[in-house]
Amino acid sequence: MKKKILAVILLLAIITLVFISLGKKTVTNDFFAMDTVISLNITGIKAEKCAEEIEEEILRLHEELSVNGNGALACYNKGEYCGGEVRELLSESDRIRRETGGAFDAGIYSATKLWGFTTGNFNVPSDAEIKEALSLKGIQFDFGAIAKGYGADRTREILRKYNVREAVVSLGGTVLIHGKNQKKVAIASPDGEGYAAYIECGENVISTSGGYERFFTENGEKYSHIINPETGYPSKSGIVSATVIMEDGMRSDAYSTAVFVMGEDKARDFLNENTFGLVIITDDNRMIISEDLEGRISGIDEKYELEIWHHE
């Protein structure tokens, strides 16, 4: 009798697992927002509804956090009411500014807008214009270096709301891996051709910042969109690509920008003081990785000489 009961329980368990498996669905979707293509790959019973809500949220953030238009951040920069979300992001941005020693600073929009990256009207400003703009630091803000990371954090909240166990969401240079299974994520080559390497990771956000993403050329000189908050000019730190891997999406995004601006020495000190995965590509073709990524990085382009930073 006990064997029969056990057999029935086992059969019911198998049937339940089969129905759960049959109910799972993988949904993929691409759409444009935050100046990039957003790609969703979500597996779960309610994957379709989840994907719809994520798209709605990313599009909302695109409007609210843009320096252009009539969203909350644009209103704040004009001295108008902006709502609680932007104020929370302003507070968090200031904390990250202090954490990075000012290498990340969302409050230099008065300087960054001179270069035309947010409008498409590219321009090389004069030294006097930059000096004046930097004197207005902390008055107008640009969330370009945290918006995608914040979008990844909000996306994770929605995935958990729908009990999604596996998902990969790409927001341009920021990729969210949701779930325990390891996924292989490519790091774009700074020269724009192929991939520099692949990283295996799970349940993390991977953000890459590079001067190759957005730039313009004038009189034979290249000007990238990542502005050094101290000088007001495009960063020339010797780092051409910085990738940060950590669970906090906003910090992953902001830290990758900060490391790009810091240069090697300050970046190494910063890594020693914090816990995150790091991949740096330098302008002399060296690839530097944090020790926790040893054994998790593969397919390294043969033109790069690999170095490993150990915590000191």
Please give the structure tokens belonging to residue 75: 């209103």
In this prediction, residue 19 carries a pLDDT of 35
Q: Is the pLDDT of residue 12 over 50?
A: no
Give the pLDDT score at 177: 97
Q: Is residue 1 included in any domain, yes or no? A: no
Rounded CA gap, 101 and 264, in Å?
15
Residue 18 belongs to some domain of the structure = no
User: Does pTM top 0.75 for this prediction?
Assistant: yes
pLDDT bin (cut points 50, 70, 90) of residue 23 is low
17 vs 29, residue with greater confidence? 29
Query: Any idea of the CA torsion for 246, 203, 175, 231, to the nearest 10 degrees?
Result: -10
Is 145 within the bounds of a domain?
yes
- Read off the tokens for 226: 């990542």
Residue 133's pLDDT is 95
Q: Which residues face 129 on adjacent strands?
A: none
The model's pLDDT over 139-197, given as tens digits with 9 standing for 90+, comes to: 999 999 999 999 999 999 999 999 999 999 999 999 999 998 899 999 999 987 889 99
- For residue 13, pLDDT beyond 60: no
In this predicted structure, the answer to whether residue 3 has a pLDDT above a threshold of 90 is no
Q: Which H or E run includes 244?
A: strand 239-246
Residue 5: inside a domain, yes or no?
no
Residue 137 pLDDT greater than 90, yes or no:
yes
Residue 135 falls within a domain, yes or no? Answer: yes
Instruction: Please check whether residue 14 lies inside any domain of the structure.
Output: no
Domain housing 254: 24-309
- The Cα–Cα gap between 309 and 295 comes to 14
Q: Is pLDDT at 307 greater than 90 in this prediction? A: yes
Q: Strands across the sheet with 195-201, in order?
A: 183-188, 195-201, 297-298
Residue linked to tokens 């397919």? 299
- CA angle centred on 105, ends 285 and 208, rounded to 5°: 35
Q: What is the CATH number of the domain that holds 210?
A: 3.10.520.10
Number of domains in the chain: 1
CA distance 53 to 224: 34
Nearest-CA neighbor of 280 among 311, 255, 249? 255
Name residue, tokens 């803000």: 141
Look at residue 119 in the predicted model and tell me its pLDDT.
86
Is there a domain that residue 177 lies in? yes
Mean pLDDT score of the chain: 91
- Classify 129 as helix, strand or coil: helix
Give the tens place of pLDDT for each residue, 69-120. Answer: 999 999 999 999 888 999 999 999 999 999 999 999 999 999 999 999 988 8
d(CA 218, CA 183): 40
Whether 7 is in a domain gets the answer: no
pLDDT above 70 coverage of the chain, percent: 93
